[in-house]
Amino acid sequence: MKKIVVFTLLFLNLYSQDIVSKNKRCFLCHGKEDYKIIENGKVKSLYVSSAEYYQSVHKDMLCTNCHYDVSTIPHLRKPKKIHCLQCHYAGNVVGAPVKEMPEKYKESVHGRAKEKGKKAPDCIDCHTTHYIRYHSDTLSTIHKRNIPLTCGKCHMKIVEDYSSSIHGEALKKGILETAVCSDCHQEHDILPPEDPRSTLNPKNVIHTCERCHADVTIMKKYGVPVKQVEAFKESFHGVALEYGVVRAANCVSCHGFHDILPSSDPRSPIHPKNLAKTCGKCHPGASENVAKGKYHIIAEEKEAGIVYYVYNFFKWFTLLVILGLVIHIILDLTGRAMKKVKKKAE
């Protein structure tokens, strides 16, 4: 047994040694930080950090596994452009993991834009080319903490808005339960909000926010009220949305989205001073009156204030009326029956 283990370890070591020594030939040039060419009038770096490469998921791969058209050193021609789908397709024989991601990507806004020949991110734009790491690796471009940076490479203004939002602030503090881009927009299957399947379609926004905001454990941990979602669903806006009236307000109509802030922040659209303007987007008559009262109330709960007492009054009053009706009917029916019996006896 011991022999087998030693042998295996030795073999693996030799094998990886083999990879390192084979790749070394490539890094001879490409491992130099200032290795570059001028292509179409632009300086293009051809540097690949070997240190980072050997920490990536592809560390056990030869450079030529992907750059298969390079067979001699120095290679005289520019190698062909390669694509992840070379290996990562369903049924591949080299064992490259394939989830449903490539298919999802094709459906997404990015995939469709790419198909039309527009400038849009492909796999490598988010996952990097040579330094792909698992999403659980804190140094990965797709680790939750780094996602805003990754998306922000293109969506610069949005990331700026996001980083000053309550979600962005929480992320800066290292709170990973906060929402980053992909939590609301999805990852590979990012769809435009007009698409009914999109997590950000007006009908689905509430379900997207509710994934965290109706989760008692997360919300309790950070002192965020958790009943808001439930209360909203019972409100007129919520019911209208459920029945497909998408012009009714959903969460983001009032709270904003990338730059979402708590009501205590004067920049927030739901700060009492800004409410008139926020409600006024749909209700032209909205004045400072809209700030006089509570939002997302549940009538059954004491926090609802006067509405709670009205609810209870009516609840008991209605029960009383039902009781009265039953008593009245019983008395009336027995009385009339008794009278009939008496009349017959006479």
Partner 1 sequence: MKGKREILRFSRNWRIQHFLLILSVVLLILSGVALKFYNSWFGKLMIFLEGGFEARGALHRFSAVLLIITAIYHIIYIIFTKEGRREFKALLFKKNDFSDYLNLLLYNLGKKETKPQIGRYGFREKLQYWVFFIFVFLMIATGAVMWWHNYFFVVLPKWVFDLIYGIHGWGGTLILIFIVFWHLYEIHLTPSNFPINMSFWDGYVSEEWLKEEHPLEYEELKKEGK
Where do contacts with partner 1 occur on this chain (CB under 8 A)?
236, 239-240, 242-245, 279, 283-287, 289-295, 297, 299, 304-307, 310-311, 314-315, 317-318, 321-322, 325, 328-329, 331-339, 342
Cβ proximity to partner 1: between 9 and 310 the closer is 310
Cβ proximity to partner 1: between 145 and 271 the closer is 271
DSSP 8-state assignment for residue 254: H
240-249 contacts at long range (C-beta below 8 A, 24 or more positions apart):
241/202, 241/203, 241/206, 244/203, 246/201, 246/202, 246/203, 247/282, 249/282
Rounded least distance, CB 320 to partner 1, Å:
10
DSSP 8-state assignment for residue 294: -
Cβ proximity to partner 1: between 69 and 242 the closer is 242
Rounded least distance, CB 82 to partner 1, Å:
53
Rounded least distance, CB 227 to partner 1, Å:
15
Rounded least distance, CB 336 to partner 1, Å:
5
Question: Is residue 151 classed as helix, strand or coil in its secondary structure?
Answer: helix
Q: Residue 230: which residues within 8 A CB-CB, separation 6 or more?
A: 214, 298
Cβ proximity to partner 1: between 41 and 284 the closer is 284
Cβ proximity to partner 1: between 91 and 243 the closer is 243
- Give CA–CA dist 175/167, Å, rounded: 9
Cβ proximity to partner 1: between 2 and 342 the closer is 342
Cβ proximity to partner 1: between 83 and 339 the closer is 339
Q: Please report where in the chains the tokens 């698409």 appear, as a residue.
A: 195
Rounded least distance, CB 274 to partner 1, Å:
14
- Give CA–CA dist 255/262, Å, rounded: 8
Q: Residue 34: which residues within 8 A CB-CB, separation 6 or more?
A: 47
- Give CA–CA dist 143/96, Å, rounded: 20
Give yes or no for a contact between 195 and 176, defined as CB atoms under 8 angstroms apart: no
Rounded least distance, CB 88 to partner 1, Å:
45
Nearest alpha carbon to residue 45 among 154, 130, 142 = 130
DSSP 8-state assignment for residue 25: H
Q: Token digits for 266? A: 């004067």
Rounded least distance, CB 93 to partner 1, Å:
52
